[in-house]
Chains A and B, each alone.
Chain A
Amino acid sequence: MSTEVKTKESLFSKKNQQLLKDPFNDNNPITVQVLGICSALAITVKLEPAIVMSLSVMFVLSVGNVIISLIRNLIPNRIRIIVQLVVVASLVILVDQFLKAFAYDVSKQLSVFVGLIITNCIIMGRFEAFALGNGPWKAFLDGVGNSIGYGVILIAVAFVRELLGSGQLLGAQIIPLSWYIDMDKGTGFYANNGFFLFPPMALIVVGMIIWAQRAKNTKLIEEN
């Protein structure tokens, strides 16, 4: 029997703050847990879809975490994965329907990527690992924290890829047009690196971020 006296924890106690901050660095879903790589490859060609994707994941993950956490004691253990899947899928469909009705332009931008949220393993991972065992407020913070950790990497990768691959940021030309090689006039010295438009380059950029992060934060390095 536990003799512990239950004290009311403040909303932003040290432990709760940790839930928000941890995924940002020590426990980043992409660079440390290496989850959600699929969407990091697929939608980081341009900055804008990456930002919209990050926001949508933040909504689905934090709301989903709260729902799962609220019904965590009612979910039969044997079908819990199915229940999680149903929660993610319905949230994603609802988001999609509302965007189509009220923010049609955003929904056109996201097109197939809304559906991709369902397959994002960060979401199922957080439901399974956190929301099933913690209260709604903590689950909410965990959801927000993890989606920020995910979004930061996504936006960083998209920034590099759009700048080097298309010479643009958010669709605006950044590299001066006069720099580009013009065969007819024989001027210029610059060409976009088309390789950055392809998914393998996203993996290489993510790899470099992981490298930099581990060089700085040595406790992430596993001992063999």
Chain B
Amino acid sequence: MNVNSNAYTYTFATVMVVLVAVLLAGASLGLKSKQENNVKQEKMQSILASVGVKVDRSEAQAAYDEVIKEVLTIRGGEVVSTDREIGFNVDMAGAIKAENMDREVPMYVANKGGENYYIIPLRGKGLWGPVWGFVSLESDGNTVVGANFGHKSETPGLGAEITTPMFTDQFPGKKISEAGLFQSISVVKQGTSTGDYMVDGISGGTITSNGVNDMLADCLAPYAEYFKNI
């Protein structure tokens, strides 16, 4: 057999492509439900972590059902749905394409130790890809209880530091509105933050820090509107 003839080359390429396609498609289909479950559990973990409930991924579902009392879907300060599944399944990547007051975005109401907390999802752009996170507020709808962030592909040691306690520990106690007027929390150059409305950024991770800054201003605004009304 001449392995260098045209006919053989075409046959080889075709067979190879079909085999590889079947293999990869099979792996993708077979593992999909497991992967999606992981992603869902991780999301529950992050939601809970923002109010200080730390659980393993395997226990996330049970803890979520226990702590999260309500999932509201909000648009321009108004509640449009109270269905838990609709709220949880909102695709933030798609939602942030709309103007922030026109979005339908979820808010999780948690009850921990008799206190109510509001958990707000965030999504924005970092340097290399999307960044996201959750901010939790006290029942006054203004004071931050906790925050956590995630990212797809920020640089380790620089932008990726937004996920570390060094960055997130600055958030508790900060405020998002002053006398009913939405202020957001600004991420400023490292070492220059003062007062209730600023946190230090990451030095060497300026574009990621700016991304987090824009994300906070953009995503918190509709909720500030909601809290003004209640």
Contact = CB atoms under 8 A, between A and B. Distances in A.
Contacts of A94: 23-24, 27
B204 A194 contact: yes
Interface in B1-44: 3-4, 8-9, 12-13, 16-17, 20, 23-24, 27-28, 31, 34-35, 38, 42
B158 interface: yes
B12 A76 contact: yes
Contacts of B8: 76
B203 interface: yes
B24 A77 contact: no
A100 B128 CA distance: 21
Contacts of A49: 156
Interface in A53-79: 73-79
B153 A78 contact: no
Given A79-B12, A197-B204, A100 B24 contact: no
B12 A45 contact: no
B113 interface: no
The SS class assigned to the A binding surface is helix
A101 B38 contact: yes
A25 interface: no
B152 interface: yes
Interface size class of A (residues with CB under 8 A): 20 to 34
Contact-residue bracket for chain B: 20 to 34
Interface in A156-214: 162, 165-166, 194, 197-198
Contacts of B193: none
B4 A77 contact: yes
Contact of B157 (A93, A104, A111, A166): A166
B31 A97 contact: yes
Given A45-B156, A94-B24, A197-B158, A79 B204 contact: no
B52 to A, nearest CB: 21
| Chain B facing A: main interface SS | helix
B35 A78 contact: no
Interface string A86-102: 10001001100110111
A102 B34 contact: yes
A194 B203 contact: yes
B127 to A, nearest CB: 12
Contact of A78 (B9, B17, B42, B152): B9
Contacts of A129: none
A105 to B, nearest CB: 8
A5 interface: no
A83 interface: yes
Given A49-B156, A86-B16, A104-B42, A76 B24 contact: no
A83 B152 CA distance: 30
A111 B153 contact: yes
Nearest to A73: B3
Nearest to B11: A76
Contact of A93 (B24, B42, B155, B203): B24
Nearest to B191: A183
Contacts of A126: none
B33 to A, nearest CB: 9
Contacts of A198: 204
Contacts of B158: 45, 197
B34 A43 contact: no
In order of increasing CB-CB distance, the 7 nearest A-B pairs are A45-B157, A101-B31, A76-B9, A101-B34, A104-B38, A112-B153, A100-B35
Interface of B: 3-4, 8-9, 12-13, 16-17, 20, 23-24, 27-28, 31, 34-35, 38, 42, 57, 128, 152-153, 155-158, 203-204
10 contacts: A76-B13, A79-B9, A83-B12, A93-B24, A94-B23, A97-B31, A104-B42, A104-B57, A112-B152, A194-B203
